[in-house]
Amino acid sequence: MQLIDGKKVAEEIRNELKLKVDETREKTGKIPGLVAIIVGEDPASKVYVGMKEKACREAGFNSRVHYLPQETKEEELLALVEEYNKDENFHGILVQLPLPKHIDESKIVYAISPAKDVDGFHPFSVGKMVIGQDTFFPCTPFGIVELLKRYNIETKGKHVVVVGRSNIVGKPVANMLLQKKNNANAVVTVCHSAAPDLKKFTLQADILIAAIGKANLITADMIKEGAVVIDVGVNRVEDANAKKGYKIVGDVDFAEVSRKASYITPVPGGVGPMTIAMLLSNTYSAFKKNENI
Ligand code: GUN
């Protein structure tokens, strides 16, 4: 079994980007910029946004974060997005989800200029992805495809079984991997919570992608010998021995499944760090395109 070290690959990608940013800054005096907007007090969202900001700064990007109060009105958020659509110093706009209930999330996502949609959540980006055109790909699925690529894991003709159908992971990763392209061209099955017999599907997977948000759902009896296992789950489970009283585990029973898998991503340190690396990659692409570099 080989461990897929997402932390290491993410670091490589961020270093590659830093070199490109340094070179471009010396030549043109310009650097990529990312603005993140967060509304409310969700602690997990604050941690994620803090990590994104740190990664941006380390790679030499311009980074700004707006922390808006929970009671921010939809119109105020729309006005801020509009301001950054016009601001030439910022090439990517990220509005951290979820938003408070009184704000219509899709209205905000629609308001982001597709040219700055580095999350790849705008329906324009989603549509282009589905029809196989180049666009911004959502960062977590993009990170999964990049990991498979960098570990030389063949996808052409392989049966990929995705467990989970979220707009952020399941649906986009299934779409990306079925395209008739390099590092894709797979036969893809998408399963979800309504599947009557999940095991029947997962046992057929050459590559299993678990993104359903249920701790240790995927057990060793559910996978084929030699399968590649990608675990996107981030689940808190109680742990009396941990300082905080909990630990983070994936959707896969790592201890048992890793005995049968040919490759597997750990949690933490697998897919997670790739999300931020690909966000920087998308922001750099937006910068290059916008500045004609
Ligand atoms: N919430 C959870 N994941 C993400 C993400 O990748 N982008 C944004 N904007 N919000 C999220």
Give the residue from 170, 181, 118, 115 showing the smallest Cα distance to 144: 170
- Verify whether ligand 1 is closer than 6 Å to residue 282 (CB atom): no
- Domains of the chain, by residue range, sit at 28-113, 139-272
Give the residue from 46, 59, 52, 50 showing the smallest Cα distance to 18: 59
Q: Is 96 a catalytic residue?
A: yes
- Verify whether ligand 1 is closer than 6 Å to residue 94 (CB atom): yes
pLDDT tens readout for residues 12-62: 999 999 999 999 999 999 999 999 999 999 999 999 999 999 999 999 999
By residue count, the chain amounts to 293
Task: Give pLDDT, residue 293.
Answer: 85
- Is 139-272 the same fold as 28-113? yes
Q: Which DSSP category does 115 fall into?
A: G
- Verify whether ligand 1 is closer than 6 Å to residue 96 (CB atom): yes
Task: Give pLDDT, residue 193.
Answer: 94
Q: Among 3.40.50.10860, 3.30.420.40, 3.40.190.10, 3.30.360.10, what is the CATH number of 28-113?
A: 3.40.50.10860
| Per annotation, catalytic residue among 119, 206, 231, 253 | 119
pLDDT tens readout for residues 121-157: 999 999 999 999 999 999 999 999 999 999 999 999 9
Ligand 1 closest atom vs CA 140: 6
Using a pLDDT cut of 70, give the percent of the chain over it.
100
- 3-state class of 63 per DSSP? strand
| Per annotation, catalytic residue among 52, 116, 158, 171 | 52
- Please list the alpha-helical segments (H only) found in the chain: 6-28, 43-58, 74-86, 105-111, 123-130, 139-150, 170-178, 198-202, 254-257, 272-291
Give the residue from 293, 278, 291 showing the smallest Cα distance to 115: 291
pLDDT tens readout for residues 202-221: 999 999 999 999 999 999 99
Q: Whose CA is nearest to atom 1 of ligand 1?
A: 97
Q: Is 119 a catalytic residue?
A: yes
pLDDT tens readout for residues 56-101: 999 999 999 999 999 999 999 999 999 999 999 999 999 999 999 9
CB within 8 Å of 114: residues ≥ 6 apart: 122, 124, 125
Q: Which two tokens stand for residue 1?
A: 């079994």
Task: Give pLDDT, residue 230.
Answer: 99
Q: Which CATH topology does 139-272 take?
A: Rossmann fold (3.40.50)
